[in-house]
């Protein structure tokens, strides 16, 4: 099987409220768009309904104390922080999404699918003992630790292309010598969570394995792709991971309501196409894409579809992918600043990597 996509109707229970940017209908609308485009009928793609994750899965990363806190909060209903409400329904939705991420990883590692897309995944703001920023549990890290504990992988590369910095994932693996974390995100001085600077390089065994690429607001698509191509493929080739896990969604789109980068739907196709080709080069094609973010519901289904397609069918760029919002931003916007940032990063990282 070329690819599997995990989806369950319970995902929509991860709905953070009427006035919240993270609504449950985004999953339903994305899946409906995938159906409309024929992805569900494709012989190359298997849609999988995951089982929910359980406490033992959460314990791969999180402390018992933190897990209990979230379960208690869910029982009575409340807020973890001002942006992150918790209820029984929301918790159940989260567990189904995490179950999908684990299932996607398992299928790829056992060769049941060459590629996998886990819809809804990528809760990168959750750390070992904390949540926040719409996230309760870090599904990316849960998958990495599960596969490592079962000795199915040793080294993992995580590429985080979400517009926000993945502080939770970064913290979890900051001193881990077997996980390379690369994050492209909007300049932390201009967006939540206010971290993800060049000098945050990792520590101990993980020194040099935390690679941040902070990009100026409104960076255009070509400038973004320049940064991605200068950093991700050479590091992946040198690191030689057993698997690549990428997480993000559509919040780096230029019309997103929370982010301020300048990608179009086609840019997301290009990102996952690069992920696909690098995975073919370095780890036998083992790549998993977690797609969860995006806060403009009008562009979200297009962008999520473009992301999935770039991984599953990288040779067939979607003609029908369009952006409603015209005019499109200048694709080379900020290229000179981006070049300086990439040069600065290479300068810092040359201590740890021969490719730089």
Would you name the residues annotated as active-site residues?
125
Q: Which residues in the 281-320 window bind Zn ion by CB under 5 A?
A: 293
CA distances from 127 to 43, 170, 343 (A): 38, 8, 30
Per-residue interface string for the shown chain with Zn ion, residues 139-168, x marking contact by CB under 5 A? -----------------------x-x----
Q: Which residues in the 232-271 window bind Zn ion by CB under 5 A?
A: 251
Per-residue interface string for the shown chain with Zn ion, residues 163-202, x marking contact by CB under 5 A? -x--------------------------------------
Residue 225: closest CA among 323, 350, 310, 335: 335
* Minimum CB distance to Zn ion, residue 248 (Å): 7
- Identity of the residue, 57 or 251, whose beta carbon is nearer to Zn ion in the bound complex: 251
- Find the residue with minimal CB distance to Zn ion: 164
* Minimum CB distance to Zn ion, residue 295 (Å): 8
- Identity of the residue, 138 or 293, whose beta carbon is nearer to Zn ion in the bound complex: 293
- Identity of the residue, 200 or 251, whose beta carbon is nearer to Zn ion in the bound complex: 251
* Minimum CB distance to Zn ion, residue 133 (Å): 8
Q: How far apart are CA 224 and CA 274, in angstroms?
A: 13
Q: With contacts defined by CB under 5 A, how many residues of the chain interact with Zn ion?
A: 4
- Identity of the residue, 15 or 162, whose beta carbon is nearer to Zn ion in the bound complex: 162
Token pair listed for 346: 């290479």
- Identity of the residue, 12 or 293, whose beta carbon is nearer to Zn ion in the bound complex: 293
* Minimum CB distance to Zn ion, residue 85 (Å): 17
* Minimum CB distance to Zn ion, residue 83 (Å): 12
Give contact residues for Zn ion (rule: CB under 5 A): 162, 164, 251, 293
């Amino acid at each position: 099987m070329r690819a599997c996509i995990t989806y369950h109707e319970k995902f929509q229970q991860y709905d953070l409220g009427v006035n919240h940017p993270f609504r449950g209908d985004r999953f339903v609308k994305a899946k409906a768009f995938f159906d409309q485009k024929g992805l569900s009928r494709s012989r190359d793609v298997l849609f999988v309904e995951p089982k929910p994750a359980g406490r033992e899965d959460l314990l791969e990363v999180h402390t018992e104390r933190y897990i209990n806190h979230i379960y208690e909060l869910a029982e009575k209903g409340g807020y973890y922080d001002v942006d992150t409400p918790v209820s029984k329904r929301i918790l159940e939705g989260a567990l189904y999404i995490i179950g999908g991420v684990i299932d996607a990883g398992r299928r790829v590692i056992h060769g049941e699918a060459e590629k996998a897309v886990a819809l809804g995944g990528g809760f990168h703001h959750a750390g070992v003992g904390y949540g926040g920023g719409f996230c309760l549990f870090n599904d990316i890290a849960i998958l990495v630790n599960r596969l490592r504990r079962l000795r199915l992988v040793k080294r993992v590369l995580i590429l985080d292309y979400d517009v926000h910095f993945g502080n939770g994932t970064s913290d979890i693996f900051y001193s881990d010598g077997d996980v390379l974390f690369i994050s492209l995100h909007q300049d932390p001085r201009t967006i939540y969570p206010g971290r993800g600077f060049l000098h945050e390089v990792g520590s101990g065994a993980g020194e040099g394995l935390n690679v941040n690429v902070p990009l100026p607001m409104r960076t255009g698509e070509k400038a973004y792709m320049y940064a991605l191509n200068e950093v991700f493929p050479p590091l992946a080739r040198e690191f030689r991971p057993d698997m690549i896990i990428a997480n993000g969604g559509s919040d780096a789109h230029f019309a997103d309501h929370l982010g301020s980068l300048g990608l179009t739907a086609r840019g997301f196709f290009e990102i996952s196409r690069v992920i696909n080709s690098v995975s073919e080069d370095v780890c036998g094609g083992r790549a998993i894409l977690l797609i969860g973010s995006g806060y403009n519901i009008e562009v979200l289904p297009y962008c999520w579809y473009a992301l999935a397609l770039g991984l599953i069918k990288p040779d067939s760029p979607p003609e029908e992918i369009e952006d409603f919002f015209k005019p499109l931003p200048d694709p080379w916007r900020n290229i000179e600043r981006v070049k300086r940032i990439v040069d600065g990063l290479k300068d810092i990282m040359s201590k740890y990597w021969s490719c730089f």
